[in-house]
Structure 1
Amino acid sequence: MALTYSVDPGDPDAPYLSFWRERHLCTLTTLRPDGTPHLVPVGVTYDPGARLARVITNRTSAKARHVLAAGEEGAPVAVCQVDGRRWATLEGRAVVRTGPEHVEEAVRRYAERYGRMPSPNPSRVAIEITLTRAMGRA
């Protein structure tokens, strides 16, 4: 049986990285203004070289609004994926990116991981999470 372990988010071991390259639905947890958690299903991409995770969304979504409400320092968030007894969590500070280069990179990575190009959306933004912690059970 595999053990739960901590991972360097910038230098994950092969099983952890492999799990993040598989196609899995994930969750994103943000905090509402009252401090309660808001958990939603999302697609997530993981870029250990940049110590980033990315989520694409509409600029008016609750998740984007929660991150924006945190200000320039970003919002503490977590993304997680589960497959049976295997799971992996990435934690860090999230900011909303609206620049075309950020959104295009997030869309490209999403299409690569999930095997499909998302529908065009002129209101799309990228939530970029600068990773501070990773853990899982591979």
Structure 2
Amino acid sequence: MTTTYSVDPGDPDASYLGFWREKHLCTLTTLRPDGTPHLVPVGVTYDPEARIARVITSGTSAKARHVRAAGARGAAVAVCQVDGRRWATLEGRAVVRADRESVAEAERRYAERYGRTPRPNPSRVVIEIALTRAMGRG
């Protein structure tokens, strides 16, 4: 990435995808019921083949509550990471998945990206984001 540009979230160039494979702390922005943004640090994994980003969290977290409140259509969210002048954002509609298979897949991807297995959490869920837009700057 050398300039600000839009990316097809299902077909990113090698530089964009490489940046999402590096170990970086990210942010997730959800909307509170009053419409104000709620921004928190998270770990994010990006699966361009499926056009999905995943965030693991406790099912009782504010971020999970905000996404659930949006209903079946999903919540409009964004995840972003920054490293100096480089940044990348993924946007889409998020839903909360609590089934064991979805959570295990998200934990596996988290461990692969961040180099450590997440601590056990029996109330863990995954916020799964169906990606509609991507952008970045390198």
Counterpart Cα distance in 2 of 1:2 and 1:8: 16
* TM-score, normalised by the number of residues in structure 2: 0.99
Matches within 5 A, 1:82-97: 82-97=82-97
SS at structure 2 position matched to 1:102: helix
* Corresponding residue of 1:20: 20
Counterpart Cα distance in 2 of 1:43 and 1:99: 20
* Corresponding residue of 2:122: 122
SS at structure 2 position matched to 1:73: coil
* TM-score, normalised by the number of residues in structure 1: 0.99
Counterpart Cα distance in 1 of 2:36 and 2:78: 14
Structure 1 unaligned spans of 5+: none
Matches within 5 A, 1:44-63: 44-63=44-63
Q: Could you give the per-residue CA deviations for residues 14-48 of structure 1, whole angstroms, max 9, x where no partner exists?
A: 00000000000000000000000000000000000
1:75 equivalent to 2:75? Answer: yes
SS at structure 2 position matched to 1:18: helix
* Corresponding residue of 1:40: 40
Counterpart Cα distance in 2 of 1:33 and 1:63: 11
* Corresponding residue of 1:4: 4
State the Cα distance separating 1:79 from its structure 2 match.
0.1
Structure 2 unaligned spans of 5+: none
SS at structure 2 position matched to 1:49: coil
State the Cα distance separating 1:2 from its structure 2 match.
1.9
Paired letter, 1:130: A
SS at structure 1 position matched to 2:95: strand
